[in-house]
Amino acid sequence: MLWTIVATVLATTVVLVLAQNFKTSEKALERKIEHRYAVSDPQFRREMSALLGPAILGGNRVRPLQNGDEIFPAMLQAIAEAQHSITFETFIYWSGEIGKEFSQALAERARAGVAVSVTIDWVGSTKMDRSLLESMQAAGVSLHLYRPLSWYHLGSMNNRTHRKLLVIDGRIGFTGGVGIADQWLGDAEDPEHWRDTQYRIEGPVVAQLQAAFNDNWIKTTGQVLNGTHYFPELNPAGEMDAHMFVASPSGGSESMHLMYLLALAAAETRIDLAASYFVPDTLLIEALIAARARGVRVRVLLPGPHLDALSVKIASKADWGELLQAGVEIHVYQPTMLHTKLLVIDSLLVSVGSTNFDMRSIRLNDEASLNVYNREFALHMTAVFEADLLNAEPYSLERWRTRPLSEKLSEKILLPIRSQL
């Protein structure tokens, strides 16, 4: 009898601990945000600064880098030129050609006396050869895995860092959707080489990228990285206004949700959205439909036949019908996996970073996004979006209605776990 009681208590404890992984914030947004002003209205910027946290800063320059052929050389060059500090946080870091190059570059700078601090998500590093970790640590890189498997992390195993942040000397930053894996090499020329964009950033907003890195560094190590090597005085580098904000289940989990809802509600002419994983909640769907009702043109670009998460591919389509019926244009990218995360509102606001348009990113992951308020940059990113549309097929309401019964049944099966995908 005693052993039965003990076993029951232990089993109940395990279930309760594991159940913590499916919790989101205690209080979530529940009501649609109404359209009150445009993105161009000063009130919009005031509220984005106040509600998301970091203030919008002027004097920045943001340069988009397309696919691995542009992205990796720029990041590796910046690492090679570091003089004082490198801070690097990523979700995916796998073995392979590019993983080895980054490990060697980081190790070389550490041996040269540069303070190199690296955070890699434990789940995202499971395909990484341990020798890459060991070689960096042996060279003096301060490297930590985010929430590795252990008994005291069981209640938060489902909460991962999905942030992609690289900051050099506190002066040059990179963010976007790219992981350190060979799938991102090349120029998206075939299904083995993914389509993605990364952004090189200079100016005062780089300090906010550094603060975003510090957020999880403190959680992982209990240490804060400060001083002029991490937070130097930053002069204007361009004419773009921008801010970098973070979201996390442990604090500010609704920031990303709120940003999307405010931006969609402010749209008056056009919404362009590229999303590698598209599983929105009811409020986001309602916001897109409400925008259409105001006469806003809504174009959504999603992965087509090449998507690395089958469950997401199935669950995503369940919502396409009401969006298509409302007049939302959905296009599916054909050549390879589309991994970009891009939102452009009214040719003025551009939001980029690690965040996917799904509830896992919004409620469960640690994410970081950069908002840029600049018409010239927005027009350039619209041109990038439209170039990708040339490699996509429009998806019709009729096609959705006549999709196979097996797809419809699979969508129903996945419905209870949509927020975890």
> What are the tens digits of pLDDT across the range 258-272?
999 999 999 999 999
- Mean pLDDT score, 236-260: 88
Q: Which range is least confidently modeled, 239-243, 275-279, 298-302, 340-344? A: 275-279
Q: Which residue has the higher pLDDT, 294 or 27?
A: 294
* CA dist list (Å): 300 to 233, 259, 285, 393: 39, 18, 12, 11
Assess whether pLDDT exceeds 60 at residue 121: yes
Query: What pTM was estimated for this model as a whole?
Result: 0.90
Nearest to 88 by CA among 214, 271, 251, 206: 214
Assess whether pLDDT exceeds 90 at residue 307: no
Checking phi first, is residue 280 left (phi over 0); if not, alpha (psi -120 to 50) or beta?
beta
* Percent of residues, the chain, with pLDDT higher than 70: 87
CA distance 277 to 11: 34
Assess whether pLDDT exceeds 60 at residue 228: yes
CA distance 389 to 302: 10
Q: How many alpha carbons lie under 13 Å from residue 383 in its C-beta half-sphere?
A: 8
Question: Annotated catalytic sites, by residue?
Answer: 162, 164, 169, 339, 341, 346
Question: What is the pLDDT confidence band of residue 314, given thresholds at 50, 70 and 90?
Answer: confident
Nearest to 181 by CA among 248, 143, 242, 125: 125
Q: Which residues contact 349 (CB under 8 A, 6 or more apart)?
A: 39, 263, 266, 343, 371, 372, 373, 378
* Percent of residues, the chain, with pLDDT higher than 90: 75
